[in-house]
Structure 1
Amino acid sequence: MRPRTDSVRRALITTTILTGCVVQPAFAQQGEVDLGQITFEVQGAEPVGNDANPNTLSGVKTATEITAVPQSVSVVGREAFGRENPSKVDQVLRDVSGVQSQLYGYDSDTNWFYLRGFNSSDTGAFMDGLSLFSYGFGTFYIDPFLLDRVEVLKGPSSMLYGASSPGGVVNYVSKLPDGDEGRSLTFGADSEGRAWLQGEVAGLAGPDLSYRFGGKLQRQDGHGMFEPGLEGVIYGGGTKAFADGSKLTLHLSYTDMDEDHVGGQFLPYFGTEKKGPFGHFDEYYNGGDPDEDAYDREQLIATGIYRRDVAGWQMTDTFRLGYADLEELYVYPNGFTSGQVPSATADVNRFVFAHDSYATIAQNDLRFTRQIETGGATHDLLVGLDMRRYRLDEEQAFALGTPLDPDDPSYDADQPEVGAPYIDGVRVQDQVGLYAQDQIRWGSGWIGTVNARYDKVWSSFEDELGPDLDREDEAFTWRLALAREFGTVTPYATVGTYFNPQALSADSRDAEPEEGRQIEVGVKWQPNPSSLVTFSAFDITRENVSQSLVNGGTFDSRTLGEVRSRGIELEADWQATEAVRLSAAYTNLDVEIVDFEADPSIEGKTPQSVIEEFGSVQLAYTPLSFPDLELRAGARYRGDSWADNANTLDVDGAWLFDAGATWDFAEDWTADLNVTNIGDERYTASCQTSFGTSSCWQGEGRVVSLGVTRSF
């Protein structure tokens, strides 16, 4: 590994150059000035509350109601998901249409999600509008404790965000200091042995400074872990208002994780999805080794948002510095000693894997907005320039481990040490993008949206073990959309393009960037202020596709050529009566490998792991005679999928049932009780095949959790 201080120093210098000329004048204000009434919040990022049609920054990068965004977008507020005691963000996404989450069961250290049939965890994860780009194990983990809302923009979004997943964007919105005041303390536990304690404080320090900070300590246990682990998360931020009307928000979060791996991962297809000679693996069967099992993460993310008026334009500059330091040692299953199909005496084959990954990211998104009226139309103009540098210094190594009995595992055997690294190098990707948008309103309810963006991307890989990579990519992307407001109903149609450079491996030297387009039509209906129903139908074409597969300790990348995703999505948040609220989501996809020169036999097949039909429904009831109590009942359906691209190994779907209750049982005291997968249904979260071996992940069983919060 190269010295890490150098990469951090370069990142600090980069961000200082990008933002220093903007931020410095703000701190130069002197003297006592009466600032009057100050609004500290960032519009489009404030708490959602009970608003079914809140403003969002996803989709148009200006604060716009969901119904006016010409693309499917879902917003899940803290008020909604906080009641469910989520331990991870991908749990928050379970009831969002178009999102297939938790593909790898209860993976305690990574948030996994597919959007509209495409893996979007690496290039589709954003935070406060800035990309959390990742490659390999150089990832950034976001705990739900840090968030006020989670936004999902579905479909290609390069016209605003540059290189990104064709499935869409999941935007994590931080808890920002917004002028609210209050304190809270929460403690909780669940039936798997997870326990947590968290507290938060928000308030004002004088008339021009708002602050907010908090911390969470969590014990991870259960799910087949050999030993309990610890996760600590702290955050803090302040918003300062200046005499010239400008505002500066600074936010810092730190995450530290030290834990073992959960069970139920990388298990062979036979024994997980289908019976083997020994039957099925036990729930959360751990194919690892207690003496060779470690996961350590240290992560720091610093974000700033500066806002001011400049010559009639509203300027917003969002900037970030972050690093993630990960070390991992893991023994994982890899088929049977007899091959893909187990014999009566076969053991589980295992590999020993280790990596040391250090990722840094530096970003800046500078944008200007202005509203003008001309020719009987109102134009909301947006122009922007964003820049990003991602750097990953990594080493990976492995060894052949000892086999393990699938029915009666014994962990007494010593494991060999990993050998020399098979990956050792530094990967860097720089992106610069210039974009513009015009949202035009005219006549009686017409809304037109025009987007254009040009990107330049430089990718390099200094490989200590093989040939280097040094390439440049560029692309022009766009979107055209038209909507019409008919009272409470807004139909829309949109067409747009996207691009995404191939992964940062030497193998991608001659690979063209992914590119494609989407056509989407839909309708959004807000029958009352507390309800919203959305429907969309879409067709996405994805060309030059590189499919990344989790292959034990490595990522196996295969080019599939062209993949097409078509489907419909329905989402409803309905206040049926004063006492009854209904939430529902349904997705039906048709994802097809259209072209694959290396193996034409899989053309017309569905990519592995993709679930094409899924949905959920949840009913919340608050008795009018007992308004301090909310009772919830829900059902989730996960449809069938495939464990291989040839579609020869099927994976059955499952129905899962949940229940919960929230009770304000005393003044300033609230209890949240939840039971997920009430029937403890045994199911497979997903399977995939790499190097001829299929790996599967067990779905999460029944979990009972209780959280108690004191507000003061």
Structure 2
Amino acid sequence: MIRRSTAVRTILATTTILAGAPVAFAQEAAINLGQVTFEVQGAEPVGDDVNPNTLSGMKTATEITEVPQSVSVVGRETFERENPSKVDEVLRDVPGVQAQLYGYDSDTNWFYIRGFNSFDTGAFMDGLSLFSYGFGTFYVDPFLLERVEVLKGPASMLYGASSPGGVVNYVSKLPGGSEGRTLTFGADSEGRAWVQGEAAGLMGEDLSWRVGGKLQRQDGHGMFDPGVEGVVYGGATKAFDDGGKLTLHLSYTDMDEDHVGGQFLPYFGTEREAPFGYFDHYYNGGDPDSDEYDREQLIATGIYRRDVGGWEMTDTIRLGYADIEELYVYPYGFTNGSTTVQVPDATADVNRFVFAHDSYATVAQNDLRFTREVATSGVTHDLLVGLDMRRYRLDEEQSFAVGTPLDPEDPDYDDQPAPSFTYIDGVRVQDQIGLYAQDQVRWGDGWIGTVNARYDTVWSSFDDQRGGPDLDRQDDAFTWRLALAREIGSVTPYATVGTYFNPQALDAASEDGDPETGRQVEVGVKWQPNEASLVTVSAFDIRRENVSQSLVNAGTFDSRTLGELHSRGFEIEADWQVSDSVRLGLAYTNLDVEIVDFDDDPSIEGKTPQSVIEEFGTLSATYAPLALPELELRASARYRGDSYADNANTLDVDGAWLLDAGATWDFAEDWTADLNVTNLTDERYTASCQSSSAPAPISSCWQGEGRVVSLGVTKSF
């Protein structure tokens, strides 16, 4: 195993080499390779294309307007302009996606899609699942990505077990036949500072390569001490004489940091005033002497493409591991004898728990698919068949202790007891194998029909090392999608209906539980009035049965069955070129999410699930003065609507308007500066609250991120 000290030295050396590597000028300058093309179609740079090819909605390179579901694509160019520290910062401007659910959390990307948790079973990378359970997660830094794609609505007909809200597909930076290098330095007002470098080039006319490294100092947001994150990646694509192409990609991530503040705070003092007033912004209820978060992660991906007997074959394989160790002291209600969310008395302190875990997750995956176009009697069939296999294994131990209380106004940190009660110690394994097929049929005057079918078998097991009950179960599911669209000039209306499934949690309590199932009906229209503009309007209705909901409880996320949920609503996404110098953007979501059936507590039927925001959106404007083509100015207003801190909807969480601004300036030849300010007015707001599954529930809240000013300066060679 690579040790962390070695990894940091490697990252520093890589970044230094990139700064001085004798590679030809212009990172994006593709050279003439004749018949040799290295790009993976649907994963290439987005650039200014508002209707790019995407692989997420069809598993074949298909323009957004021809995918019969709502899909959004955010290109690397947005990352470079906005200096995001995490991917979920980019997702907050995507319709249908409620991002940064727990405020600023430096080590996890959090997102709901269409009102449903999607960060555990809805995260994918290069089309392969980044399935996670408990704390056995894979973290993806935006530096690694060429684009982020969001397919909204059920996707089991393509990907197997997954979230009904949709999938977020992280697309890696792959070699693409270009050459050049860049070096970036940046810092923000919270104390984060980073340096990153990248280089790409060619060896002959049949081998393309790309490497990069990033070293980041993580600070601010209430951290006790600065942390460090290092990321390196490398990739190469080889073209063979038989027409085959092999792409290999490897990324390594190392994190060593403290936890941020503003997390797990009581409802009173965060969302509503307590006798002492409000907690300070980024109030950290942890402990500086014991707080710890360490992650070591490796992801290796291979993509092989070639023609086989009239079919185009693509085989994507992945091996990866994530080794996470964490000790976290966190708030949990008040000490005034009340275990509920009622207002504490003036002398109450904040209770604290001590939580620790050691999680080692591994994943092995392979997705083999064949595509072919067949034309018969004026009808064209784009055929897809595939076999998808995945094994996820998590070896974990979780432990717990009761910590000492903390003054909400004047915290006096002291030593905390070591976690002594081990309540989880075991190995969880989930294997999935799925066979799928798709036919996209084109006929007549712009008609497009899509038919999908997939059959999956999932084996889930848990070996309890403490001698408790084990889990050993098998789930089988057939999922499908039927869709119809018609291209009428620049307008493409569509209608689709599809189903999904998702097995229950990997613990003994779910031994006899049926897998979560459901269906979605979606109708919409996609309009591309010109090459620089695209508007998508969609309306949907999602039904979920046998639903589990994650609840914060004693340091972990427990699950309980809610029964049936119903989500319906509409979304609007517009990217409109008003003139040569002005571009407008709109992302709006309006949801109605309802608990339809819950046997354990019928009183919450008809209520909105906790933490879910039902109305949110962003209105943005970009101005590039014709007289100053090297300058771009940006401004946006984000609205986060109201939500609830409990399923009974007795505790309101207010919404907020947030203003952002930014500018990009090519101030000298090959030099670019990107300045961004998020939450310009430093609005105080609560990202979300939720109540635990304890018998007498305690509500925990997460403070929203305050104003952050960031500046990045990039040199291209």
Structure 1 residue 573: Cα displacement = 0.5
- Contact 1:368/1:384 (<8 A) preserved: yes
Q: Aligned with 2:495: secondary structure? A: strand
Q: Which of 69, 75, 93 is equivalent to 2:73? A: 75
TM-score (norm 1): 0.95
Native 8 Å contact 2:520 2:542 kept in 1 = yes
After TM superposition, give the deviation of residue 556 of structure 1 in Å: 1.5
Aligned to 1:270: 268
Structure-2 residue corresponding to 1:64: 62
2:432 and 2:33 map into 1 onto residues whose CA distance is 39
Query: Bigger CA drift: 390-399 or 338-347?
Result: 338-347
Post-superposition shift, 1:374?
A: 1.2
Distance in 1 (alpha carbons) for counterparts of 2:421 and 2:496:
51
Say which of 182, 185, 189 aligns to 1:184: 182
Aligned counterpart, 1:150: 148
Give me the whole-angstrom Cα distance separating, in 2, the residues matched to 1:659 and 1:597. Answer: 48
Cα distance, 1:464 vs. partner?
Answer: 1.5
Deviation string 1:655-698 (CA, Å, 9 cap, x unpaired) is: 00000000000000000000000100000000000020000000
1 CA distance for matches of 2:161 and 2:238? 33
Q: Which residue does the alignment assign to 1:94?
A: 92
Alignment map for 1:474-513 (pairs within 5 Å): 474-513=476-515
Corresponding residue number in structure 2 for 1:702: 707
Counterpart residue number, 1:656: 658
Residue type of the alignment partner of 1:498: Y
Residue 344 (structure 1) shift: 1.2
Q: In the alignment, is the contact (CA less than 8 A) between 2:290 and 2:415 conserved in 1?
A: no
2:42 aligns with one of 25, 41, 44: 44
- Find the aligned partners of 1:283 and 1:36 in 2 and give their Cα distance: 58
Distance 1:572 1:674 in 2: 22
Q: Quick check: 1:177–1:237 contact (8 Å CA) kept in 2?
A: yes
The alpha carbon displacement at 1:123 in A equals 0.1
How is 1:257-656 mapped onto 2 (pairs within 5 angstroms)? 257-338=255-336, 339=338, 340=340, 341=342, 342-411=344-413, 413-465=414-466, 466-656=468-658
| Aligned residues of 1:348 and 1:406 also touching (Cα < 8 A) | yes
Specify the SS of the correspondent of 1:710.
strand
Distance in 1 of aligned mates of 2:452 and 2:299: 30
Superposed CA offset, 1:527-578 (max 9, x none): 1101100000000000000001233521121110000000000000111100
Structure-1 residue corresponding to 2:24: none
| In structure 1, C-alpha distance between the alignment counterparts of 2:549 and 2:87, rounded to whole Å | 23
- Looking at structure 1, the residues matched to 644 and 120 of structure 2 have their Cα atoms a distance apart, in angstroms, of 22
- In structure 2, how many angstroms separate the alpha carbons of the residues matched to 1:154 and 1:599? 30
Q: For each residue in 1:231-266, what CA deviation from the matched residue of structure 2 results, as whole angstroms up to 9, or x when unmatched?
A: 000000000000000000000000000000000000
Please give the secondary structure, in 2, of the residue aligned with 1:95: coil
Name the counterpart of 1:166.
164
Letter of the structure 1 residue corresponding to residue 407 of structure 2 = D
Give secondary structure in 1 for the equivalent of 2:175: coil
Aligned pair count? Answer: 680
Shift of residue 415 of structure 1? Answer: 1.0
> In the aligned structure 2, how far is the partner of 1:57 from the partner of 1:103?
27
Structure 2: 5+ residue runs without aligned partners?
3-31
Q: Name the aligned partner's letter for residue 455 of structure 1.
A: D
Distance in 2 between the 1:309 and 1:457 partners? Answer: 31
Q: Secondary structure, in 3 states, of the residue corresponding to 1:352?
A: strand
Tell me if 1:693 matches 2:695: no
2: CA distance, partners of 1:677 / 1:480? 42
1:370 aligned partner, one-letter code? R
Task: Work out whether residues 332 and 552 of structure 1, in 8 Å CA contact, stay in contact via their aligned partners in 2.
Answer: no
Once residues 505 and 380 of structure 1 are traced to their aligned partners in structure 2, the CA distance between those partners, rounded to angstroms, is 41
Distance 2:704 2:554 in 1: 18
Deviation at 1:36, TM superposition (A): 4.8
Alpha-carbon distance in structure 1 between the residues aligned to 2:79 and 2:229:
20
Can you list the C-alpha shifts for 1:54-106, whole angstroms capped at 9, x where unaligned?
00001100000000000000000011232000000000101000000000000
1:54 corresponds in structure 2 to 52
Tell me, in whole angstroms, the C-alpha distance in 1 between the residues paired with 2:559 and 2:252.
Answer: 32
For 2:15, the equivalent position in structure 1 comes to none
Q: Secondary structure, in 3 states, of the residue corresponding to 1:166? A: coil
Give the structure 2 partner of residue 255 of structure 1. 253
**What amino acid sits opposite 2:397 in the alignment?**
E
Matches within 5 A, 1:91-240: 91-240=89-238
User: Aligned partners of 1:537 and 1:657: how far apart in 2?
Assistant: 27
Cα distance between partner residues in 1 of 2:91 and 2:418 = 39
CA–CA distance in 2 between the matches of 1:590 and 1:375? 45
CA RMSD in angstroms, aligned pairs only: 1.1
Once the two structures are superposed, what CA deviation does each residue of 1:21-78 show, in whole Å capped at 9, x if it has no partner?
xxxxxxxxxxxxx995210000000000000000000110000000000000000001
SS at match of 1:91: helix
Task: Tell me how far apart the structure 2 counterparts of residues 80 and 575 of structure 1 sit (CA, whole Å).
Answer: 16
> What is the percent sequence identity of the aligned residues?
82
Aligned partners of 2:644, 2:212: CA distance in 1, in Å?
43
Cα pair 1:562 1:594 within 8 Å, conserved? yes
Instruction: Give the CA deviation at 1:703.
Output: 0.3
Shift of 1:505: 1.0
Where structure 1 has 5 or more consecutive residues not aligned to the other structure, the ranges are 5-33
Q: TM-score normalized by structure 2?
A: 0.94
Give SS of 1:159's match. helix
